[in-house]
């Protein structure tokens, strides 16, 4: 299959890209689309044959459910049943964070095919804020199932060029909407009522909406609901994996280089005083937030930098830790998974 990359950098091109994407999606094809977090591989969520093509293109195991992206807030009731006891906080969260990088796990309606949720009784749902994505999903006027547009377990794509590397020849169209503004996948939460006081908000996957953002809406817990076993089936210990091994080096003093081995460094600020730059004669270095060390900038650049390091020809990637606050929590979570064998 030939993969076409449709540009959106001029109005006429944008119109044509939207037209092509909508046409393919309505015919039950898959299309890679930009979102504010990472690029997604989208298909009509209500069409099981179309959704099956997502699993095939990604080589994704069928036990890993997809996120459903709504054209509009008002369409939530079509895909999810909102339990009475959390109706108020869910409405507040949706009002405050949508469109945006927050995904809610809710009981599903019968309209959602089982293939989308891997047979789970719940559905993960969000509404993307990316203007190109919004044009396409609102023209189609149907919910879109879309996981990140990488092959299973690999580095998430934050540019159309990265999607080409992952899925070239496997899908008909990639809509190029430029670089993703957030750079990390959405925060996934589950809201659980408490008899007295604010609900629990379980953070099932850390992301751009951080603890401090969610606190006004409930008691934020970074763990799964203890009532259930695997809450996020796709969050395997090894994920976001580069081809070459990655080690998260919490203290520079722990580094003992092996003779003849080529090392690459993923630095946080690229600052000598952090003690990593001078550890060895690096084969290649990349810096998440040069100079200032700003976490949102590190998040935006994270997958892009990881992908460059993966292609630099080193034998091992050494990653500096980043501060575990704000969106740094989500970066460290991905570094740990990228490091897991």
Is there a contact between 131 and 218 (Cβ–Cβ < 8 Å)?
no
Q: Which does 312 bind (CB under 5 to 8 A by kind): ligand TXA, Mg ion, none?
A: none
Task: Tokens for 44, please give them.
Answer: 């009509």
Closer residue to ligand TXA in complex, CB, 230/250: 230
Name the residues that contact ligand TXA, by CB under 6 A. Answer: 35, 37-38, 40, 64-67, 101, 103, 105, 117, 120, 122-124, 146-148, 185-186, 188, 204, 231-235
Q: Which does 37 bind (CB under 5 to 8 A by kind): ligand TXA, Mg ion, none?
A: ligand TXA
- CB atoms inside a 10 Å sphere around CB 170: 17
Is there a contact between 69 and 144 (Cβ–Cβ < 8 Å)?
yes
Q: Binders of Mg ion: how many residues, by CB under 5 A? A: 1
Long-range contacts formed by 261-265: CB under 8 A, 24+ apart: 261/315, 261/316, 262/313, 262/314, 262/315, 262/316, 263/314, 263/315, 263/316, 263/317, 263/318, 264/309, 264/312, 264/314, 264/316, 264/317, 264/318, 265/317, 265/318, 265/319, 265/320
Q: Which residues is 145 bridged to in the sheet?
A: 43, 68
H-only helix segments in the chain: 11-26, 48-58, 76-79, 87-97, 114-117, 131-140, 160-167, 211-214, 295-310, 328-339
How far apart are CB 89 and ligand TXA at their closest, in Å?
A: 18
Closer residue to Mg ion in complex, CB, 233/290: 233
Q: Which does 146 bind (CB under 5 to 8 A by kind): Mg ion, ligand TXA, none?
A: ligand TXA
Q: Which does 123 bind (CB under 5 to 8 A by kind): Mg ion, ligand TXA, none?
A: ligand TXA
Closer residue to Mg ion in complex, CB, 249/339: 339
Closer residue to Mg ion in complex, CB, 35/148: 148
How far apart are CB 123 and ligand TXA at their closest, in Å?
A: 5
How far apart are CB 64 and ligand TXA at their closest, in Å?
A: 5
Q: 265-302: string of b/e by CB count within 10 Å (b at 16+)?
A: bbbbbbbeeeebbebeebbbbbbbbbeebebbbbbbbb
How far apart are CB 292 and ligand TXA at their closest, in Å?
A: 26
Q: Which stretch binds Mg ion (CB under 5 A): 100-108, 145-153, 200-208, 269-277?
A: 145-153
How far apart are CB 194 and ligand TXA at their closest, in Å?
A: 21
Quick check: 148 binds Mg ion (CB under 5 A)? yes
- CB atoms inside a 10 Å sphere around CB 256: 7
Q: Which does 159 bind (CB under 5 to 8 A by kind): Mg ion, ligand TXA, none?
A: none
How far apart are CB 137 and ligand TXA at their closest, in Å?
A: 11
Residues making contact with Mg ion (CB under 5 A): 148
């Amino acid at each position: 299959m030939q993969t076409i990359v449709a540009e959106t950098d001029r109005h006429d091109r944008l119109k044509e890209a939207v037209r092509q994407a909508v046409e393919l999606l309505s015919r039950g094809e898959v299309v890679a689309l930009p979102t504010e977090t990472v690029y997604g591989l989208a298909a009509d969520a209500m069409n099981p044959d179309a959704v099956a093509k997502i699993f095939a293109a990604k080589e994704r195991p069928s036990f890993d459910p997809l996120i459903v992206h709504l054209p509009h807030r008002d369409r939530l009731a079509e895909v999810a049943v909102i339990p009475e006891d959390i109706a108020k906080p869910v409405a507040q969260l949706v009002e405050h964070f949508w469109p945006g990088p927050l995904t809610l796990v809710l009981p599903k309606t019968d309209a959602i095919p089982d293939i989308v949720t891997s047979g789970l009784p719940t559905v993960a749902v969000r509404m993307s804020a990316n203007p190109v994505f919004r044009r396409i999903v609102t023209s189609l006027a149907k919910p879109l199932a879309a996981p990140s547009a990488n092959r299973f377990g690999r580095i998430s794509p934050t540019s159309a060029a990265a999607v080409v590397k992952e899925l070239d020849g496997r899908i008909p169209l990639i809509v190029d909407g430029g670089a993703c503004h957030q750079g990390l996948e959405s925060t996934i939460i589950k809201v659980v009522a408490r008899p007295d006081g604010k609900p629990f908000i379980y953070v099932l996957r850390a992301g751009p909406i951080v603890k401090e953002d969610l606190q006004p809406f409930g008691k934020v817990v970074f763990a799964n609901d203890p009532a259930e076993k695997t809450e996020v089936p796709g969050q395997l210990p090894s994920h976001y994996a580069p081809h070459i091994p990655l080690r998260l080096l919490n203290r520079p003093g722990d580094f003992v280089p092996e003779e003849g081995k080529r090392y690459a460094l993923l630095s946080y600020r690229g600052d000598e005083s952090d003690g990593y730059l001078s550890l060895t004669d690096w084969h290649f270095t990349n810096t998440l937030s040069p100079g200032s060390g700003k976490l949102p900038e590190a998040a935006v650049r994270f997958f892009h930098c990881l992908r460059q390091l993966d292609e630099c020809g080193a034998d091992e990637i050494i990653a500096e830790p980043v501060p575990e606050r704000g969106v740094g929590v989500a970066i460290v979570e991905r570094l740990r998974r990228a490091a897991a064998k």
